[in-house]
Amino acid sequence: MKSSVKMARLDTKMSLEDAAKKLGISAGYLSQIENGLRQVSSKRAEQIAQLYKKEKEEIFLASRYALREVSDKNSTKRAGA
């Protein structure tokens, strides 16, 4: 069974190499995304969806792209430190 990401790419008649080049990533990395071996940031998921002329939610499950908040370790103080 082909992934939604891969099917979206194939619908655009783009090769893995061409799509990866347009996204600025390696073909191997894109292949891992397509095969569910890598999670991607929300931003990267959006870039892929835009390239394939799809909505992000059409080709990615919410669990496949990460929405995370980055904290600065130096700006937080631990109790007792």
Q: Give the whole-angstrom CA distance, residue 78 versus residue 73.
A: 10
User: How sure is the predictor about 69, in pLDDT bands with cuts at 50, 70 and 90?
Assistant: very low
72 located within any domain: no
Contact yes or no for 49/59 (Cβ under 8 A):
yes
pLDDT value at position 64? 54
Give the pLDDT confidence of 7-51 residue by residue, as tens digits. 999 999 999 999 999 999 999 999 999 998 998 998 999 999 999
- Average pLDDT rounded to a whole number, residues 56-79: 60
Q: Give the whole-angstrom CA distance, residue 59 versus residue 79.
A: 43
In the chain, the number of structural domains is 1
76 located within any domain: no
Query: Above 50 in pLDDT, residue 54?
Result: yes
Query: Above 60 in pLDDT, residue 70?
Result: no
73 located within any domain: no
- Say which residues have a Cβ less than 8 Å from residue 61's Cβ, sequence separation at least 6: none
77 located within any domain: no
Domain of residue 29 covers 4-62
Q: Give the whole-angstrom CA distance, residue 34 versus residue 54.
A: 15
